[in-house]
Amino acid sequence: MRDETGHLETGRRVAAMIYGAMMGSVLLYAVAVEVVNFSQAPFSGFAATPMDSMVRYSLWGVALLQVILIALVRRSLLAKSASAAPVASVAKLITVAIVTAALAEIPAILGLVLFMVSGLRADFYGLLTLSLALLATWFPRPESWREWAAEPPASG
């Protein structure tokens, strides 16, 4: 049992470091936005024509759908099998954390696209906030990992 707990904690630390690096990359998007905004002032986007509002709303819709997508993907990936070894379970949790972080980063990327195309800083910061909220919501916490490891596998 002690060995399993050690693997779990080591795996969680690895996942948290990767997760933190991905959070850092999201924050670097804000630096990029401000550098472009400052160096190209007044910045109105790189597109030659104004962006259609439906494109903007569609990108926001995709960003908001990430909440549902993350929940569905996590549920699917976290499904337990009866034959899973403890080390395999830790690897599965690390994979789920990385996939979750990647999906949570998508709204910030869409905000960056909106900014680069049309200069919409407010949209970028709104979507950046959504990304950071998603990342914070599903950050790999020791309690949730222990709770998942303690659950019996689904029968059937």
Q: What is the pLDDT of residues 13-45, one digit of tens each?
A: 999 999 999 999 999 999 999 999 999 988 888
- pTM attached to this predicted model: 0.85
For CA atoms 20, 25, 29, 32, give the dihedral sign.
positive
54-to-20, 43, 96, 106, 154 alpha-carbon distances in Å:
33, 21, 33, 19, 43
- pLDDT of 47: 84
- pLDDT of 28: 96
Residues of the chain with pLDDT under 70: 1-5, 81-87, 153-156
Contacts of 114 (CB under 8 A, 6+ apart): 51, 56, 59, 120, 123, 124, 127
| Domain boundaries, given as residue ranges, for the chain | 2-43+60-145
- pLDDT of 86: 62
- pLDDT of 1: 44
